[in-house]
Structure 1
Amino acid sequence: MSVLVVIPARYASTRYPGKPLVPLTGAGGDRRTLIERSWRAAMQVQGVDRVVVATDDDRIREAAEAFGAEVVMTSTDCANGTERCAEAHAALGGGFDIVVNLQGDAPLTPHWFVEDLVQGLRDNPDADIATPVLRCSGGMLADLLEDRKNDRVGGTTAVFSADRQALYFSKEVIPFTAKSYGTDEPSPVFHHVGVYAYRPRPLGEYATWSVGPLETLEGLEQLRFLENGRRVLCVEVEARGRQFWELNNPEDVPKLEKMMAQMGLE
């Protein structure tokens, strides 16, 4: 099965304008933009046939081409990364069996998250899309709860059935748990990792569906699949000692830089 990885990136983010071009300092002191670090993460994934950055902004295009990325220009009409991935796939002529959306705000995504995700879709022919979920440690759960306490969206959580079919995704911390957990103790909460693997047909159909009330309320693009009766497979991934966090707010920059320093990521 041929695999295309698309890194959707837009400049005009509501919460954090210009986010793809924000510099992050690695363990060795090198400062690279968020989009470059996300591209480098994508290039480490095994079994991928092509990696492209998809954007509608010339500033991002110029920056991406400067560090060697292939860029596909998409329209300003794309409402989210999924629509941008669909447009990029079509612009390339289609033909890929699996399209991966590696969002440009997750530079700490380990390559095995994506590899396990693609394998999960291959192993489950009834699934329309697949997405990774990571069981929260007590420390990660505390960070998510602290963000919500301060009215910040620090991450998305997922709940799913016994056969790993997604039931819901939320920017709230679900399911509710009153118990406190030690820093390294596993919790019942799963952090949704913002990566998707789509089959081409549902990806192409996505933009034709109306935006539903749940997607509107949560601001989560993957809910459009659930609201249209599509099967979303949650693939549990393992951190293997790696810390994971996404850049959602300016306050996340020092957190990511601290994580990169602790893990020795250049």
Structure 2
Amino acid sequence: MKVLVVIPARYASTRYPGKPLVALRGATGEARSLIRRSWEAAQAVEGIDRVVVATDDDRIREAAEGFGAEVVMTSESCGNGTERCAEALDRLGGGYDIVVNLQGDAPLTPAWFIEDLVAGLAADPVAEVATPVLRCDGRALNSLLDDRRAGRVGGTTAVFGRDRKALYFSKEVIPYTGHSYGDAEATPVFHHVGVYAYRPSALAAYPRWEAGPLEQLEGLEQLRFLERERPVLCVEVAARGRQFWELNNPEDVPRIEAMLAEMGVD
């Protein structure tokens, strides 16, 4: 089984322009760009055959090539990371059994999240798309709720059925709990980890579909699969004591730097 990891990165982010090149300081104070830290996270994953950065911006290309990444240039018309992954796979000529979309704003993604994700998709012969979900502890849930109370769109949450197929993804915190949890207490809320694994057929079909109303309202690319009645497998992953957060807004920089320092990551 051949596995390709694509890290889609664009400069013109609506919420945070230039985000892939933002410097993040680790435990030793060394500053490395977000795109480099995301690439380093991909390099730590076992069982991966190739890692590429997919972008439409020369500034990101130059930065990525500067730290040794392979870069695939894609068009400016790509509406989201899934479309960019589809174009990157096409430009590479295919030849992979599973394509992983490791979004370029997730430097805290542990290697086992991706390893478990690939294994989950490979073990389900029917599934075409899979994505990790992480049960929130009280600390993570409160961070999500704090963002919403402050009017910020932070992490995404997921709900799924007994068959682990997604029912919905939202930038709101779902399901509603109406309960206060301690920092280390398990909650019924699952944080959607912004990583996807696709079979090439599903990835090739995606750009041909128009974005539906739910995708447009939420701004969540994975909803296009659900609106086309294509199931998305949710693979529950374990934190193993690690914290997880994505860089969505400028306010997330000190939060992620604090997490890097706390985990002792350079």
TM-score band by shorter chain is over 0.9
Amino acid across the alignment from 1:181: Y
Amino acid across the alignment from 2:65: E
1:64-103 equivalences in 2 (<5 Å):
64-103=64-103
CA-CA distance at 1:67 after TM superposition: 0.2
How far apart, in 2, do the equivalents of 1:249 and 1:140 lie?
16
Q: Could you say which residue in structure 2 is the equivalent of 1:207?
A: 207
Q: Could you say which residue in structure 2 is the equivalent of 1:255?
A: 255
TM-score (norm 2): 1.00
Residue-by-residue CA offset, 1:189-211 (whole Å, 9 max, x unaligned): 00000000000001000000011
How far apart, in 2, do the equivalents of 1:127 and 1:113 lie?
18
Amino acid across the alignment from 1:197: A
Amino acid across the alignment from 1:36: R
Q: Could you say which residue in structure 2 is the equivalent of 1:240?
A: 240
CA-CA distance at 1:3 after TM superposition: 0.2
Question: What count of residue pairs does the alignment treat as equivalent?
Answer: 266
Gaps of 5+ in 1: none
How far apart, in 1, do the equivalents of 2:128 and 2:228 lie?
11
Q: Percent identity?
A: 74
CA-CA distance at 1:28 after TM superposition: 1.2
Large movers: runs of 4+ above 2 Å:
none
Matched, 1:142 2:139: no
Q: Check whether the contact 1:126–1:231 (CA below 8 A) recurs between aligned residues.
A: no
How far apart, in 2, do the equivalents of 1:216 and 1:29 lie?
39
CA-CA distance at 1:154 after TM superposition: 1.1
CA-CA distance at 1:265 after TM superposition: 0.4
Residue-by-residue CA offset, 1:78-120 (whole Å, 9 max, x unaligned): 0000000000000000010000000000000000000000000
How far apart, in 2, do the equivalents of 1:130 and 1:163 lie?
13
1:44-83 equivalences in 2 (<5 Å):
44-83=44-83
How far apart, in 2, do the equivalents of 1:202 and 1:227 lie?
14
SS in 2 for 1:207: helix
Q: Could you say which residue in structure 2 is the equivalent of 1:189?
A: 189
CA-CA distance at 1:158 after TM superposition: 0.1
SS in 1 for 2:52: strand
TM-score (norm 1): 1.00
CA-CA distance at 1:231 after TM superposition: 1.3
Residue-by-residue CA offset, 1:57-89 (whole Å, 9 max, x unaligned): 000000000000000000000000000000000
CA-CA distance at 1:255 after TM superposition: 0.2
How far apart, in 2, do the equivalents of 1:4 and 1:209 lie?
23
Q: Could you say which residue in structure 2 is the equivalent of 1:219?
A: 219
